[in-house]
Amino acid sequence: MIIYIAGKITGDPDYRDKFAAAAAELERAGHIVINPAVLPAGLTDAAYMHITLAMIDAADLVALLPDWQYSPGARLERVYCLYTGKPHPSLREVLRYA
């Protein structure tokens, strides 16, 4: 399964490690991971959203990290999932059934 990871990036100094750990868990479970934390720094918020929404379109589902609700971007990604019908369980739910 192709899984996009959604969670708080802006304002979290440890976001790269947090997303890398989630990606590693999903990959160990046999999934292909799309990780927005590897995008280059310096883009506008709008540019990041354009890119991440395309990434979500390419994924089978979106795995929500525990802190997703504290991120305006991740909340928007979740709303996009609701709008498009893309499944968006928590990371723990994905790993529980892997």
Domain boundaries, the chain: 1-68
Q: Using CA atoms, how far apart are residues 82 and 13, in angstroms rounded to an integer?
A: 29
Residue 98 has pLDDT above 80, yes or no: no
* pLDDT attached to residue 42: 95
Rounded (5°) CA angle 65-18-69: 30
Q: Which pLDDT score is estimated for 92?
A: 96
**pLDDT digit string (tens) for 19-71?**
999 999 999 999 999 999 999 999 999 999 999 999 999 999 999 999 999 99
How many other CB atoms are found less than 10 A from the CB of residue 59? 22
Structure tokens at 49: 């959203």
Neighbour-count burial of 13, counting CB atoms closer than 10 A to its CB (0-12 exposed, 13-18 middle, 19+ buried): exposed
Note the pLDDT of residue 63.
98
What would the CATH number be for the domain defined by 1-68?
3.40.50.450
pLDDT at 97: 83
